[in-house]
Amino acid sequence: MTPLRQRMIEDMRLRNFAPRTVQVYVERVATFAKHYGKSPERLGPAEIRAYLLFLVREKRASWSYYNQALCALRFLYRVTLGKNWALEGIPCPKGEKKLPVVLSPDEVVQFFEAISHLKHRAILMTAYAAGLRVSEVVALRVDDIDSRRMVIRVRQAKGRKDRYVMLSSRLLEILRGYWKAARPTGYLFPGNDPDKPLTTRAVHQACQDARQAAGLGKHVTVHTLRHSFATHLLEAGTSIRVIQVLLGHRNLKTTAIYTHVSAATLEATQSPLDRLGRPAGERVRP
Protein backbone atom coordinates (compact mmCIF):
# COMPACT_ATOMS: atom_id res chain seq x y z
CA MET A 1 0.00 0.00 0.00
CA THR A 2 1.37 3.41 -0.97
CA PRO A 3 1.84 6.09 1.71
CA LEU A 4 -0.74 8.29 -0.04
CA ARG A 5 -3.39 5.58 0.02
CA GLN A 6 -2.64 4.84 3.68
CA ARG A 7 -2.96 8.52 4.55
CA MET A 8 -6.25 8.86 2.69
CA ILE A 9 -7.67 5.79 4.48
CA GLU A 10 -6.59 7.20 7.83
CA ASP A 11 -8.23 10.56 7.00
CA MET A 12 -11.51 8.81 6.20
CA ARG A 13 -11.38 6.68 9.35
CA LEU A 14 -10.76 9.77 11.47
CA ARG A 15 -14.00 11.15 10.02
CA ASN A 16 -15.81 7.88 10.85
CA PHE A 17 -16.60 7.01 7.23
CA ALA A 18 -18.41 3.71 6.77
CA PRO A 19 -16.12 0.82 5.74
CA ARG A 20 -17.93 0.51 2.42
CA THR A 21 -17.42 4.21 1.68
CA VAL A 22 -13.70 3.88 2.44
CA GLN A 23 -13.46 0.91 0.09
CA VAL A 24 -15.30 2.65 -2.77
CA TYR A 25 -13.32 5.90 -2.48
CA VAL A 26 -10.01 4.01 -2.53
CA GLU A 27 -11.12 2.03 -5.59
CA ARG A 28 -12.20 5.16 -7.47
CA VAL A 29 -8.92 6.97 -6.75
CA ALA A 30 -6.93 3.88 -7.72
CA THR A 31 -8.76 3.70 -11.06
CA PHE A 32 -8.04 7.40 -11.63
CA ALA A 33 -4.32 6.87 -10.96
CA LYS A 34 -4.22 3.77 -13.17
CA HIS A 35 -5.84 5.72 -16.02
CA TYR A 36 -2.81 8.04 -16.12
CA GLY A 37 -0.21 5.62 -14.78
CA LYS A 38 0.86 8.24 -12.24
CA SER A 39 0.36 9.05 -8.58
CA PRO A 40 -2.50 11.54 -8.00
CA GLU A 41 0.07 13.78 -6.30
CA ARG A 42 1.54 14.43 -9.75
CA LEU A 43 -1.82 15.18 -11.37
CA GLY A 44 -3.82 18.39 -11.30
CA PRO A 45 -7.03 20.14 -12.39
CA ALA A 46 -6.52 19.49 -16.11
CA GLU A 47 -6.12 15.74 -15.61
CA ILE A 48 -9.08 15.58 -13.20
CA ARG A 49 -11.33 17.39 -15.66
CA ALA A 50 -10.17 15.23 -18.59
CA TYR A 51 -10.76 12.05 -16.58
CA LEU A 52 -14.29 13.06 -15.58
CA LEU A 53 -15.05 13.86 -19.23
CA PHE A 54 -13.65 10.43 -20.14
CA LEU A 55 -16.09 8.81 -17.70
CA VAL A 56 -19.01 10.65 -19.29
CA ARG A 57 -18.12 10.54 -22.99
CA GLU A 58 -16.19 7.32 -23.50
CA LYS A 59 -16.82 5.03 -20.58
CA ARG A 60 -20.44 6.19 -20.31
CA ALA A 61 -20.30 5.62 -16.59
CA SER A 62 -23.51 5.64 -14.58
CA TRP A 63 -24.44 8.69 -12.54
CA SER A 64 -23.70 6.71 -9.38
CA TYR A 65 -20.17 5.76 -10.52
CA TYR A 66 -19.40 9.30 -11.70
CA ASN A 67 -20.58 10.79 -8.43
CA GLN A 68 -18.47 8.33 -6.43
CA ALA A 69 -15.40 9.21 -8.49
CA LEU A 70 -15.99 12.94 -8.07
CA CYS A 71 -16.53 12.65 -4.30
CA ALA A 72 -13.47 10.43 -3.89
CA LEU A 73 -11.24 12.83 -5.83
CA ARG A 74 -12.66 15.81 -3.95
CA PHE A 75 -11.79 14.15 -0.64
CA LEU A 76 -8.33 13.14 -1.78
CA TYR A 77 -7.33 16.57 -3.06
CA ARG A 78 -9.08 18.79 -0.54
CA VAL A 79 -8.55 16.77 2.64
CA THR A 80 -5.58 14.43 2.21
CA LEU A 81 -3.48 16.56 -0.15
CA GLY A 82 -4.79 19.95 1.00
CA LYS A 83 -5.21 21.21 -2.57
CA ASN A 84 -8.57 22.99 -2.56
CA TRP A 85 -7.86 24.51 -5.95
CA ALA A 86 -7.64 21.14 -7.71
CA LEU A 87 -11.38 20.80 -8.30
CA GLU A 88 -12.31 24.46 -8.70
CA GLY A 89 -14.60 25.06 -11.64
CA ILE A 90 -15.63 21.41 -11.97
CA PRO A 91 -19.44 21.36 -11.76
CA CYS A 92 -21.45 18.74 -9.95
CA PRO A 93 -23.72 17.05 -12.49
CA LYS A 94 -27.45 16.90 -12.06
CA GLY A 95 -28.34 13.30 -11.35
CA GLU A 96 -31.00 11.37 -13.21
CA LYS A 97 -34.27 10.86 -11.39
CA LYS A 98 -35.78 7.50 -12.19
CA LEU A 99 -38.76 5.85 -10.56
CA PRO A 100 -37.90 2.60 -8.78
CA VAL A 101 -39.10 -0.80 -9.97
CA VAL A 102 -41.84 -2.10 -7.68
CA LEU A 103 -43.35 -5.58 -7.53
CA SER A 104 -47.06 -6.06 -7.01
CA PRO A 105 -48.10 -8.16 -3.97
CA ASP A 106 -48.87 -11.08 -6.30
CA GLU A 107 -45.43 -10.80 -7.88
CA VAL A 108 -43.82 -10.81 -4.42
CA VAL A 109 -45.65 -14.06 -3.62
CA GLN A 110 -44.57 -15.50 -6.98
CA PHE A 111 -40.99 -14.45 -6.25
CA PHE A 112 -40.83 -16.11 -2.82
CA GLU A 113 -42.56 -19.29 -4.01
CA ALA A 114 -39.71 -19.78 -6.48
CA ILE A 115 -37.06 -19.92 -3.72
CA SER A 116 -36.40 -23.47 -2.55
CA HIS A 117 -33.21 -22.75 -0.56
CA LEU A 118 -34.20 -22.16 3.07
CA LYS A 119 -31.45 -19.68 3.87
CA HIS A 120 -32.01 -17.67 0.71
CA ARG A 121 -35.75 -17.54 1.31
CA ALA A 122 -35.22 -16.40 4.90
CA ILE A 123 -32.78 -13.61 4.02
CA LEU A 124 -34.78 -12.28 1.06
CA MET A 125 -38.02 -12.42 3.05
CA THR A 126 -36.31 -10.48 5.83
CA ALA A 127 -35.20 -7.84 3.33
CA TYR A 128 -38.80 -7.40 2.12
CA ALA A 129 -40.60 -7.76 5.47
CA ALA A 130 -38.43 -5.11 7.15
CA GLY A 131 -37.47 -2.98 4.13
CA LEU A 132 -33.74 -3.52 4.66
CA ARG A 133 -30.81 -2.69 2.43
CA VAL A 134 -28.68 -5.67 1.39
CA SER A 135 -25.81 -4.42 3.57
CA GLU A 136 -28.18 -4.23 6.54
CA VAL A 137 -29.70 -7.67 6.15
CA VAL A 138 -26.35 -9.48 5.88
CA ALA A 139 -25.09 -7.64 8.98
CA LEU A 140 -27.96 -8.86 11.20
CA ARG A 141 -26.98 -10.88 14.23
CA VAL A 142 -29.10 -13.48 16.01
CA ASP A 143 -29.64 -11.20 19.01
CA ASP A 144 -30.92 -8.41 16.75
CA ILE A 145 -34.20 -10.32 16.46
CA ASP A 146 -36.24 -9.23 19.49
CA SER A 147 -39.29 -11.49 19.58
CA ARG A 148 -40.54 -10.01 22.87
CA ARG A 149 -40.85 -6.49 21.51
CA MET A 150 -41.41 -7.76 17.94
CA VAL A 151 -38.71 -5.52 16.49
CA ILE A 152 -35.46 -5.96 14.56
CA ARG A 153 -32.44 -3.89 15.50
CA VAL A 154 -30.51 -2.53 12.52
CA ARG A 155 -27.00 -1.61 13.65
CA GLN A 156 -24.95 1.25 12.22
CA ALA A 157 -26.86 1.51 8.96
CA LYS A 158 -26.31 4.17 6.32
CA GLY A 159 -25.31 7.40 8.02
CA ARG A 160 -23.81 5.41 10.92
CA LYS A 161 -27.16 5.23 12.71
CA ASP A 162 -28.98 2.45 14.56
CA ARG A 163 -32.71 2.02 14.11
CA TYR A 164 -35.50 -0.42 14.87
CA VAL A 165 -37.95 -1.87 12.36
CA MET A 166 -40.98 -4.05 12.86
CA LEU A 167 -40.66 -7.82 13.18
CA SER A 168 -43.44 -9.49 11.22
CA SER A 169 -45.04 -12.41 13.06
CA ARG A 170 -44.96 -14.37 9.82
CA LEU A 171 -41.28 -13.55 9.34
CA LEU A 172 -40.60 -14.67 12.92
CA GLU A 173 -42.00 -18.10 12.06
CA ILE A 174 -39.77 -18.26 8.98
CA LEU A 175 -36.70 -17.24 10.98
CA ARG A 176 -37.41 -19.75 13.73
CA GLY A 177 -37.65 -22.53 11.17
CA TYR A 178 -34.42 -21.37 9.57
CA TRP A 179 -32.65 -21.11 12.95
CA LYS A 180 -33.65 -24.64 13.94
CA ALA A 181 -32.17 -25.96 10.69
CA ALA A 182 -29.03 -23.81 10.49
CA ARG A 183 -28.32 -22.99 14.17
CA PRO A 184 -26.46 -19.69 13.56
CA THR A 185 -24.83 -18.26 16.69
CA GLY A 186 -23.30 -14.91 15.74
CA TYR A 187 -24.40 -13.55 12.40
CA LEU A 188 -27.97 -14.51 11.54
CA PHE A 189 -26.94 -15.31 7.97
CA PRO A 190 -23.29 -16.44 8.10
CA GLY A 191 -21.17 -17.21 5.07
CA ASN A 192 -18.89 -20.19 4.60
CA ASP A 193 -16.92 -18.87 7.54
CA PRO A 194 -19.40 -18.84 10.46
CA ASP A 195 -17.61 -15.83 11.95
CA LYS A 196 -18.32 -13.74 8.86
CA PRO A 197 -21.65 -12.75 7.29
CA LEU A 198 -22.91 -13.92 3.93
CA THR A 199 -21.54 -11.63 1.23
CA THR A 200 -23.80 -9.11 -0.46
CA ARG A 201 -22.77 -10.65 -3.79
CA ALA A 202 -24.19 -14.01 -2.70
CA VAL A 203 -27.49 -12.36 -1.73
CA HIS A 204 -27.70 -10.52 -5.05
CA GLN A 205 -27.08 -13.80 -6.88
CA ALA A 206 -29.79 -15.55 -4.85
CA CYS A 207 -32.16 -12.74 -5.79
CA GLN A 208 -31.38 -13.09 -9.49
CA ASP A 209 -31.82 -16.86 -9.34
CA ALA A 210 -35.22 -16.38 -7.70
CA ARG A 211 -36.29 -13.84 -10.31
CA GLN A 212 -35.42 -16.21 -13.13
CA ALA A 213 -37.09 -19.18 -11.42
CA ALA A 214 -40.22 -17.09 -10.87
CA GLY A 215 -40.29 -16.00 -14.51
CA LEU A 216 -40.64 -12.31 -13.65
CA GLY A 217 -39.99 -9.90 -16.49
CA LYS A 218 -39.11 -7.00 -14.22
CA HIS A 219 -35.55 -6.21 -13.22
CA VAL A 220 -35.56 -7.39 -9.60
CA THR A 221 -32.80 -6.67 -7.10
CA VAL A 222 -32.66 -6.82 -3.32
CA HIS A 223 -33.33 -3.08 -3.34
CA THR A 224 -36.47 -3.75 -5.38
CA LEU A 225 -37.81 -5.62 -2.36
CA ARG A 226 -37.11 -2.53 -0.23
CA HIS A 227 -38.91 -0.31 -2.76
CA SER A 228 -41.83 -2.75 -2.78
CA PHE A 229 -41.96 -2.76 1.04
CA ALA A 230 -42.26 1.03 1.16
CA THR A 231 -44.79 1.24 -1.67
CA HIS A 232 -47.00 -1.49 -0.22
CA LEU A 233 -46.99 0.23 3.17
CA LEU A 234 -47.99 3.51 1.54
CA GLU A 235 -50.80 1.83 -0.38
CA ALA A 236 -52.03 0.30 2.89
CA GLY A 237 -52.40 3.78 4.38
CA THR A 238 -49.18 3.99 6.44
CA SER A 239 -48.00 7.55 7.11
CA ILE A 240 -45.10 8.57 4.91
CA ARG A 241 -43.26 9.83 8.00
CA VAL A 242 -43.51 6.38 9.57
CA ILE A 243 -42.14 4.89 6.35
CA GLN A 244 -39.30 7.42 6.48
CA VAL A 245 -38.30 6.21 9.95
CA LEU A 246 -38.57 2.53 8.97
CA LEU A 247 -36.36 3.04 5.92
CA GLY A 248 -33.84 5.13 7.83
CA HIS A 249 -34.11 8.07 5.43
CA ARG A 250 -32.61 11.33 6.69
CA ASN A 251 -34.73 13.49 4.38
CA LEU A 252 -38.46 13.11 3.80
CA LYS A 253 -37.91 14.04 0.14
CA THR A 254 -36.12 10.73 -0.36
CA THR A 255 -39.16 8.85 0.95
CA ALA A 256 -41.59 10.98 -1.04
CA ILE A 257 -40.59 9.21 -4.26
CA TYR A 258 -42.91 6.37 -3.27
CA THR A 259 -45.91 8.66 -3.62
CA HIS A 260 -45.12 8.67 -7.35
CA VAL A 261 -45.08 4.89 -7.70
CA SER A 262 -48.07 3.99 -5.55
CA ALA A 263 -50.77 2.52 -7.80
CA ALA A 264 -53.40 3.02 -5.10
CA THR A 265 -52.59 6.73 -4.94
CA LEU A 266 -52.90 7.07 -8.69
CA GLU A 267 -56.15 5.13 -8.84
CA ALA A 268 -57.67 7.22 -6.04
CA THR A 269 -56.82 10.48 -7.81
CA GLN A 270 -59.41 11.70 -10.26
CA SER A 271 -58.32 13.41 -13.44
CA PRO A 272 -59.68 16.97 -13.76
CA LEU A 273 -61.13 15.91 -17.12
CA ASP A 274 -63.57 13.62 -15.32
CA ARG A 275 -64.94 16.58 -13.36
CA LEU A 276 -65.69 18.67 -16.42
CA GLY A 277 -69.12 18.84 -17.98
CA ARG A 278 -69.40 17.14 -21.35
CA PRO A 279 -69.21 19.56 -24.28
CA ALA A 280 -72.16 19.61 -26.59
CA GLY A 281 -71.94 17.01 -29.33
CA GLU A 282 -69.46 14.77 -27.54
CA ARG A 283 -70.21 11.19 -28.47
CA VAL A 284 -69.89 8.55 -25.79
CA ARG A 285 -69.53 4.99 -27.01
CA PRO A 286 -70.70 2.17 -24.75
Listed as own residue / partner, the contacts of 15-22 with beta carbons closer than 8 Å and 24 or more positions apart are 16/160, 18/156, 18/158, 18/160, 20/135
Active site residue 226: yes
Active site residue 65: no
- Other residues' Cβ atoms within 10 Å of the Cβ of residue 109: 12
Asked if 266 and 259 touch (Cβ cutoff 8 Å), the reply is no
Active site residue 133: yes
Active site residue 223: yes
Active site residue 158: yes
Q: Which of 25, 66, 128, 258 is catalytic?
A: 258
Residues 6+ away with beta carbon under 8 Å from 67: 93, 95
Q: Which of 121, 133, 227, 232 is catalytic?
A: 133
Q: Which of 5, 78, 204, 223 is catalytic?
A: 223
Q: Which of 158, 164, 204, 218 is catalytic?
A: 158
Active site residue 227: no
N-terminal to C-terminal alpha carbon distance within the chain:
75
- Other residues' Cβ atoms within 10 Å of the Cβ of residue 195: 9
Q: Which of 226, 241, 250, 285 is catalytic?
A: 226
Which of the residues are catalytic?
133, 158, 223, 226, 249, 258
